Amino acid sequence: MRVVLDLFSGRPNPSFRLAPNEVAELAARARALSVPSAAPAVPQAGWRGFIVLGDGPPGFESIWLRVKEKVVEMQGGAWQDSTGIEALLDTSARRHGYGALLDEARKWTNSGAVL
């Protein structure tokens, strides 16, 4: 599975692949979601969250889930992130070298600026 950091406007977003153990952990956490939630508004620009793509050729992967502001959206609806999916993806992104970019994107988005 590939994780996309959905943050840029007009240029490709960075992405990375989850390790097999992370895929298993993510799937277990997704199955354990149980509290429905309203989906957060997705801004036109700035930090829009993590998108997890299923397997497939690049550019043709299906969206498996999106998570932002502690809300997980999947085909069946939206749930409160009570299982720590966003934290799992954040930790993995930082391990792949995207920590500073995440911090900057969140700072800019909170200020209303565009990356």
Residues of the chain with pLDDT under 70: 42-44, 58-59, 110-115
Q: Pinpoint the alpha helices (H) of the chain.
A: 20-31, 85-95, 99-111
What is 58-87 written as a DSSP string? TT-PPEEEEEETTEEEETTEEEE-TT-HHH
pLDDT at 62: 85
pLDDT at 110: 61
Q: Which amino acid is at 75?
A: Q
Residue 55 CA to residue 71 CA, distance in Å, equals 23
- pLDDT tens track for 32-49: 999 999 887 766 677 899
φ, ψ for residue 32 (rounded to 5)?
-85, -5
Exposure string for 39-77, b = 16+ CB within 10 A, e = fewer: ebeebeebbbbbbbbeeeeeeebeebbbbbeebbbeeee
Residue 56 CA to residue 53 CA, distance in Å, equals 9
pLDDT at 113: 52
pLDDT at 111: 55
Model confidence pTM above 0.75: yes
